[in-house]
Amino acid sequence: MVNRFLDKAQRLFRVDIRYVLKGNFWLNINRFASVANGIALSVAFAHLLTKEAYGTYAFALAVLGVFSAPQTTGLGSGILRGIGRGSESIIYEGMRRVLPWSLGGTLLLGGTAIYYYVMGNTDLSIIFGLGSIVLPVSVSIGVAKSFFSLKGDFKRLATFNLFRTPFMTIALVIAAWFTQSALVILITNIIGNIILGSFLYLSMKRVYKTEFSQPSTEKFNSRYAFHAGFLSMFGYLSEKLDSIILWKFLGGAPVAIYTYAMAPVRELRSLAENQSLLAIPKFIKKDFEEVRSNLAFRIKQIYIVVIPLILIYILVAPFIFKILFPQYLDSVWFSQLAALSLLSAPRRLISSAISAHQKIKESYIMIALPNIIRIVLAVSLIPLFGIKGAIGALLVSEVIDYGILGVLINRPHKNIQKP
């Protein structure tokens, strides 16, 4: 009876319903754990840290991410099709190719540490110096997360995160409780992620029996990996530039207010975009034209979830902040406004379809152009309007991004570059 019901649902929704239910279950378990621990950490930081200290913490994490994102994204993108086709050992070829990029990031991050030392900010100098040392290691072990995701092994990834997130939350709360120091908390964050990432990497080797000596049956797409890594700088910089500019022009407190306003919206976005993670392993195995022909139906399904989600959040946001973050009630209006950005949630599904088939020209258009626009808007609006400028830059760039993706995905097939 259950099988008949699932078969009917599969015909109705035109999707592998068993795969979706299984994948969504573990993705939602993972998301629930992440949200629960994120709320606990945010509540603790709101009570234990000043807005200036929390703003410095958020600023430093943003800068560290800017220097690590290109290598991490490049490595994950280069192994994408190889993993999808069953060649697990391609990760080692990818690591050998990407390591020189990590050394470049190390030098740049080290230079940033020297800059802040000269400027007299010892805390940031120490953090960026430590970040430059561990960067190659963090990129190498970070490949395990991409590996499990591309294999569709969401159960094992969720199981790991069910251990990782409480561990990190407890460690960071203890650091904040005893020190109230952004420096100590950041050091705890870096070291903790390295240790736990190593466990996931070893689990990958054990479960899938991958070894350096194994020859890969698929070739690491270094050309696409380079372009994807380069493009990720635009994406990550545009996402984090708002915090960096706010910190530079207005100090740590506005960064804290903005970060708390955006935190619930980012969690809701991750929930709404679960389908794109589930879709990538399927997209890899299908012809691009087949993938494209089904996207309109998938987008409608996403909106059935997203629109009520936005309305509910706008209504309950004041109560959430009043109960959990009374120190940040000035974040409520900004958070409600930022929630409108969820209307562009289907764009992640469209970009996943293009990325899964490693289309370089389309990737440049869909990533670089809207993110350059957002960077220009952020640089222009934030110094003038502060947090309002940051939210405005986000919303305008999301609309432009969605429009660009719509044009790209609907172009005639003959005009789409082959991978």
| pLDDT tens-digit readout, 183-209 | 999 999 999 989 988 888 888 888 777
SS3 of 46-110: HHHCCHHHHHHHHHHHHHHHHHHHHHHHHHHHHCHHHHHCCCCCHHHHHHHHHHHHHHHHHHHHH
| pLDDT tens-digit readout, 246-297 | 888 888 889 999 999 998 898 888 776 655 555 555 555 566 666 666 666 6
- Ordered DSSP codes for 299-341: HHHHHHHHHHHHHHHHHHHHHHHHHH-GGGGGGHHHHHHHGGG
Spans of all domains in the chain:
49-220, 222-419
Q: Tokens for 42, please give them.
A: 């945010």
CA distance 272 to 305: 7
Q: What is the mean pLDDT of residues 150-156?
A: 73
| pLDDT tens-digit readout, 316-336 | 999 999 998 999 999 999 999
> Which pLDDT score is estimated for 268?
83
Tell me the three state secondary structure of residue 214.
coil
pTM (2 decimals)? 0.72
CA distance 203 to 160: 9
CA distance 396 to 374: 8
CA distance 198 to 101: 20
Count other Cβ atoms within 10 Å, centred on residue 40.
17
| 98 Cβ neighbours under 8 A, 6+ residues apart | 71, 74, 75, 78, 139, 225, 229
**What distance, in Å, lies between the first and last C-alpha atoms of the chain?**
43
Residue 153 has pLDDT above 90, yes or no: no
Tell me the three state secondary structure of residue 33.
helix
| pLDDT tens-digit readout, 354-412 | 655 555 666 667 677 777 888 889 899 999 899 999 999 989 888 887 777 777 666 65
Q: What is the mean pLDDT of residues 153-167?
A: 81
The closest alpha carbon to 80, from 363, 379, 387, belongs to 363
| 214 Cβ neighbours under 8 A, 6+ residues apart | 88, 89, 92
Cα dist. 163→37, 157, 193, 243 in Å? 11, 10, 12, 29
Answer yes or no: are the C-beta atoms of 271 and 341 closer than 8 Å. Answer: no
